[in-house]
Amino acid sequence: MNTRTSERIERAAKAAVEAALWAPSIHNTQPWSFGVCGDEICLRADPERKLRISDPAGRQQTIGCGAALFNVRVTLRALGYEPEVRRFPDPERPLLLATVRVRPGREPGEHVRLLNAEIDRRRTHRSGFTALPVPDPLIDALEAEVAAEGGRLAPIRTDASARVLAALTAAAQEVQSQDRLFVLELTRWARPPGSSRRDGVPAAGYPADPRRTHPQHFAQRDYARGHEWGLAQDERVSASTGLVALLTTAGDLREDWLRAGEALQRMLLHASAYGVSVAFHTQALEMPELREFIRTHLCSGEHPQMIMRLGFVIDESESMRRAPSDVLE
Ligand SMILES: Cc1cc2nc3c(=O)[nH]c(=O)nc-3n(C[C@H](O)[C@H](O)[C@H](O)COP(=O)(O)O)c2cc1C
């Protein structure tokens, strides 16, 4: 490989890492670190950024890292390269989640460009949706995106099942808000207005006074904890629950979690390209008994990885990321 080619590849690898940072992660912990060495990108889980109380096995951390991995893949494709991915390449180094070799590729297709354009535009939503339903053909397309990554997107079609999920979310939220360790962990990642930190959930990332949504209400995490933080919200147009959906996987190993993250991000980018935003409510999946209940009663025995609501919004929330130099080793 001549010097100009290798310089170009290294530039593409760095661009892919910059894009990776815009992946969603639990409480915006950004629980990853990257290395770029020649034509290879390494993705590692950062053990300091794992949530020891709510995510002791690192399941949610790995999902976030999987989403980051998907951003790497799409960015490289959009730049005309072929990502050669090895997941968990070294059993002796469990924190090394994946390596991606930057190989020569071809001109990106329309779909890759479409997904790539959404990477830094997509935002997590934390309140109700407008009454506009997500069109069925779009739901089918989102299901296909998740299936292409080996997962399953299961829209909840009955009111009764959506009510059960909402009730479990409320129960988990209530239990966690009474648990000192859960509260302390959340506090560590909730940022007050004006904070200069580039990680955690900013005060402009959620409504000050989340309204109840209809027909079901899904409890939000309490990032403000009694402070007057958060954005004013136009309640008239954002009171719908939206489409409730689960993302599930057949297995429940670390590989499945990483793949679930890739599937999640692929679906989120596709949704974002068509104006659909997504809210997450994963509290119940942090409580093993409730997660098991959801698995057996609502997921046909598959393992629930994410609980979400999808819909159209008029307001955008804010988010932020650390600088690439903070995550590049
Ligand atoms: C595994 C996982 C679980 C999440 N659970 C929740 C949740 O329960 N409630 C919530 O408001 N956001 C949740 N999020 C979204 C993150 O808070 C969000 O991605 C992060 O704050 C960065 O913001 P952004 O997605 O707008 O860029 C979750 C994200 C991931 C990857």
- For ligand 1, whether the C-beta of 281 sits within 6 Å is yes
pLDDT of residue 234: 67
- For ligand 1, whether the C-beta of 123 sits within 6 Å is yes
Overall fold of domain 136-311: NADH Oxidase (3.40.109)
- For ligand 1, whether the C-beta of 161 sits within 6 Å is no
Question: Backbone dihedral region of 268: left (phi > 0), alpha (psi from -120 to 50 degrees) or beta?
Answer: alpha
Q: pTM of whole model > 0.85?
A: yes
Query: CA nearest 34: which of 4, 9, 13?
Result: 13
Question: Backbone dihedral region of 28: left (phi > 0), alpha (psi from -120 to 50 degrees) or beta?
Answer: left
pLDDT of residue 2: 84
Cα of 40 vs centre of ligand 1, distance in Å, is 28
Asked whether the beta carbons of 229 and 193 are under 8 A apart, the reply is yes
160 Cβ contact list (under 8 Å, min separation 6): none
Cα of 102 vs centre of ligand 1, distance in Å, is 29
Cα of 285 vs centre of ligand 1, distance in Å, is 13
pLDDT of residue 1: 73
Cα of 140 vs centre of ligand 1, distance in Å, is 23
Cα of 64 vs centre of ligand 1, distance in Å, is 9
Report pLDDT digits (tens) over 155-172: 999 999 999 999 999 999
Ligand 1 atom with the smallest distance to the CA of 64 is: 31
- Which CATH number among 3.90.950.10, 3.90.45.10, 3.40.109.10, 3.90.78.10 corresponds to the domain 3-121? 3.40.109.10
Quote the CA–CA distance of 262 and 317 in Å, as a whole number: 23
pLDDT of residue 300: 92
pLDDT of residue 142: 98
Q: What parts of the chain have a pLDDT lower than 70?
A: 234-237
Report pLDDT digits (tens) over 104-114: 999 999 999 99
Asked whether the beta carbons of 71 and 19 are under 8 A apart, the reply is yes
State the helix-helix crossing angle for 59-78 and 254-273, rounded to 10 degrees: 50
For residue 239, give Cα distances in angstroms to 44, 97, 136, 138: 39, 39, 21, 21
For residue 73, give Cα distances in angstroms to 39, 85, 173, 214, 281: 14, 8, 35, 37, 27
Quote the CA–CA distance of 47 and 44 in Å, as a whole number: 9
pLDDT of residue 236: 60
pLDDT of residue 237: 65
- For ligand 1, whether the C-beta of 271 sits within 6 Å is no
Cα of 278 vs centre of ligand 1, distance in Å, is 10
Residue of minimum CA distance from atom 6 in ligand 1: 280
Domain boundaries for CATH 3.40.109.10 within the chain: 3-121, 136-311
12 Cβ contact list (under 8 Å, min separation 6): 75, 76, 79, 81, 102
pLDDT of residue 257: 98
